[in-house]
Amino acid sequence: MKKLIVIISAIALISSCNQKSEKQFDAKNLTGVWRIDQYDINGTVLEHESIGKPMIEFRGDEYLINTSGVVEKGRFTVEDSTLKFDCTTNPDKPDNEFTITKLDTSEVEYYSLTEKNRMGVKLLRVSK
């Protein structure tokens, strides 16, 4: 009987550890101005200078992307490891959803998967 209790306890412990392994990121850590350092589209890396030197700013629940003077504004949310963008400057643009893999004080990395493409994005902090 003791062996059965030990086995059940071990399974419960492993199960709870697996549930907690999904990363959770805090949207407050995004606040500030970031340089979009690179896009990785299906293995092709496009660097900051070659893509119009884009910058992104996160304030509250709003974002602003400026690429060579072309501005996109919208709202964003972070839930667990999911980052969602809802463009308000172009309401016809579909929402974008990304999986965050890294979010710290100096760097952010996230990617999206669609049926045919994978796009990774790397941000470097400019200011808070």
> What is the sign, positive or negative, of the torsion defined by CA atoms of 40, 41, 44, 49?
negative
Joined together, the tokens standing for residue 126 give 């400019």
Whether 16 maps to a domain, the answer reads no
**Overall domain count for the chain:** 1
Write down the pTM of the prediction: 0.78
Query: Model confidence at 20, in pLDDT bands (50, 70, 90)?
Result: very low
Whether 31 maps to a domain, the answer reads yes
pLDDT over 50 (residue 110)? yes
Whether 57 maps to a domain, the answer reads yes
Condensed to tens digits (0 to 9), the pLDDT of residues 29-75 reads 999 999 999 999 999 999 999 999 999 999 999 999 999 999 999 99
Whether 96 maps to a domain, the answer reads yes
HSE toward the beta carbon, residue 20, CA cutoff 13 A: 6
The CATH number linked to 83 is 2.40.128.280
Distance, CA of 5 to CA of 23 (rounded, Å): 30
Whether 108 maps to a domain, the answer reads yes
**pLDDT of amino acid 22:** 57
**pLDDT of amino acid 113:** 80
CB 75 within 8 A of CB 60: no
Phi first, then psi: what are they for 19, rounded to 5°?
Answer: -70, -35
Give the residue numbers spanning the domain of 40. 23-127
